[in-house]
Structure 1
Amino acid sequence: MKNLYLFLSITMVFMACSPQRDLVYFSNLSKVSSSEIQNTSDLRLQKNDQITVSISSPNPEYNVLFASSGNLGTSNVSGGKVAIRINNKGTINLPLLGELAVEGLKIEEAQNLIAKEFSKQVKSPVVTVELINFKITVIGEVNKPSSLNVPGEQINLLEALGMAGDMTVYGKRDNVLVIREANGVRNMARLNLNDKNVYESPYFQLKQNDIVYIEPDKSKEKEYSPNNRALPIITACISAVAVLATALIR
């Protein structure tokens, strides 16, 4: 009987023991510190990006003509903005201007280029370019896996996780996979969100079409293993047998 109780005790100990998971971000940050962070956004226009272009000039007729010329490859015209997709050649077809190469340009550079071309036709044009399909995908051990449309021109990994409802308790915070494709080449990087130096990674600041994958840790695999699910039932049966045996002996 003592051996039986010993076996039960050991079984319960193993059931209570599970791998410890570090659920705290930047857990190696021993003290509060501050550092200067520069805006390192390097968003550049790519093929298949969708942008809106609007123009404002001292000539109202010209502005209306631009906004109403919804052709030449434009996909939508609304509120004075013309929505255009960058084609496979890396160019856009703008009303009143024609074809312009914008692939690889920053938003500000694209605005300057378009304004320069418009200035050949109208005096002092003010051009605004906005990226409207800045999208990232967050999947795996997060509460709301989804593709996310990003307002603005930049988002970092923590902000993306926040938009996806943060990681579940099973998410590996020390092994976050970021998949990035550029110029037909797919690159992958693993980031440790328990490390304060993660900010220094070029993959911490996400780019359009990045995929973030949160891998589950081993504790989830063990918890959902068929063998482990049967263990409590087996233990309960052994306990019941032990209780019955004790009662019979008495």
Structure 2
Amino acid sequence: MTLRSLFILGFSMILFGACKSYQKVPYFQDLHANSELAELTINNEYLHLQAGDKLNIAVSSSLTPEQAAQYNLPIQAARIGATGVYYGAQSSMPYYIDSKGNIDFPGVGKIRAAGYTREELADQIKKTLINNKLLNDAVVTVEVMNMFVNVIGEVNRPGRVTIDKDQITILEALSQCGDLTILGERQNVLVLRREGNTQKAYRVDLSNAQSVYSSPVYQLKQNDVVYVQPNITKQRQSTPWSNSWQNPSIYLSMTSVMVSVAVLISNLLKK
């Protein structure tokens, strides 16, 4: 093997290793310049309420505001001081969805909440108040107070992500955590979701747009867990010398040694 061949071989090994690593980093590699996301099957679903959700339900009425106030579960914090009792600002107690999926609403009783969106539950409560002739012009708003997902693993800021609207995608959750680190495995993101009495696992390939947008976990649900596992480079850091072979400088050094040995042998043979 000539010196030139040795040099070309070593340089090719370095380039191959670098290109192979780069291909695992970018997102949406299947999208081209003229790709249209409208052509993809996008899971576009609103979040539905579940047992255990804590709700803030506000009921108002312009005709009978004092009658509407009874549905807001008022609570007022009291503080005992040296000269008496002081009362703080009045707030509302939350409604809790019980294990059967219902809330206990004053003057009405059990109302089904689980399975509805916030807007659907508000409409259901409004119809119930009007049909029972409790409030003729009820205005109802529903807010979820404890809706979140957990993002762990190889992201820059792992932790709990609060859901403050009716939808949150896996991309939004990851962006709120500062995106994946360079050591995160983009082709195999795990999402754990509780469905009934079972825990189901889904896999998402962030390098493939079709995999992301058509996934049943593209729209996350409350209490989902998103886990970004470490890539092979990070996994190899757990053992000594394991990442050395991933470093291009190793191959450059090996090529340099091979060239030096070849030059030495060539000079000896000429003598």
- Identity level (%): 33
Please state whether the residue corresponding to 2:49 is helix, strand or coil.
coil
Q: Which has the higher contact order (CA 8 A, sep 6+)?
A: 2
**Which residue does 1:33 correspond to in 2?**
35
How many Å apart are 1:149 and its aligned residue? 1.0
The 3-state SS of whatever aligns with 1:213 is: strand
- Structure 1's unaligned 5+ residue stretches are 1-5, 71-77, 240-250
Deviation by residue 1:80-130 (Cα, 9 ceiling, x = unmatched): 754211111211112333322212122222112211221121112111112
- Structure 1 residues 191, 229: closer, same or farther in 2, change over 3 A? closer
Runs of 5+ consecutive residues of structure 2 not aligned to the other structure: 1-5, 76-88, 258-271
Counterparts in 2 of 1:1-250, with a 5 A limit?
Answer: 20-21=21-22, 22-36=24-38, 40-57=44-61, 58-69=63-74, 81-119=92-130, 120=132, 121-197=134-210, 198-228=212-242
Contact persistence 1:135–1:150 (CA under 8 A): yes
Q: Which moved more, 1:155-164 or 1:218-227?
A: 218-227
Mark the CA change 1:125 to 1:79 in structure 2 (over 3 Å): closer, same or farther: farther
The TM-score with structure 1 as length reference comes to 0.76
> What is the root-mean-square deviation in Å for CA atoms of aligned residues?
3.0
Shift of the 162–41 alpha-carbon distance from structure 1 to 2, 3 Å rule, reads: same
Q: Is the 8 A contact 1:179 1:211 kept in 2?
A: yes
> How many residues are matched?
219
What is the CA distance between 1:203 and its match in structure 2? 1.1
CA–CA distance in structure 2, aligned partners of residues 153 and 165 of structure 1: 22
SS in 1 for 2:202: strand
Match of residue 248 from structure 1: none
User: Deviation per CA, 1:138-183, whole angstroms, max 9, x where unpaired?
Assistant: 1110011101111111110110001111100011111111111121
Residue 205 of structure 1: SS of its match in structure 2?
coil
SS at match of 1:188: strand
Matched to 2:71, the amino acid is F
Q: What's the TM-score, normalizing by structure 2?
A: 0.71
| Residues 46 and 68 (structure 1), Cα distance of their counterparts in 2 relative to 1, 3 Å cut | closer
Amino acid across the alignment from 2:21: Q
Contact 2:42 2:214 in 1 (8 A): no
Distance, in Å, in 2 between the alignment partners of 1:81 and 1:69 is 4
Aligned residues of 2:43 and 2:213 also touching (Cα < 8 A): no
Q: Which has the larger radius of gyration?
A: 2
